[in-house]
Amino acid sequence: MKKLLIIPALFILSCSQVKYIEKPMYLKCQIPEVPKTQKPVLTNEMSYPEKLQNILNYTFDLEKENELLRKAQEVCKWIC
């Protein structure tokens, strides 16, 4: 009698196993619009401090753009 109960129980337990199917999943990440930094125009008529200030402002703007792109890249890493 016990054998009759064990056989259906084993059958039920063997069919209820969880099987995982692993497939690569590709998601398109929407890259946010990051404004491109405009290169300053330096002329020979500009004084040295003006040229230096323009170059420094351009460098800081490039750093901001770089930081925004890195954040966007990090977001895409977490999504994918």
Interatomic CA distance for residues 56 and 33, integer angstroms: 24
Domain of 44?
A: 2-79
Contact by Cβ (8 Å): 35, 65: yes
The predicted model scores a pTM of 0.57
Per-residue pLDDT of the chain (80 residues; tens, 9 = 90+): 555 666 666 666 666 566 677 777 666 777 778 889 999 999 999 999 999 999 999 999 999 999 998 988 887 776 55
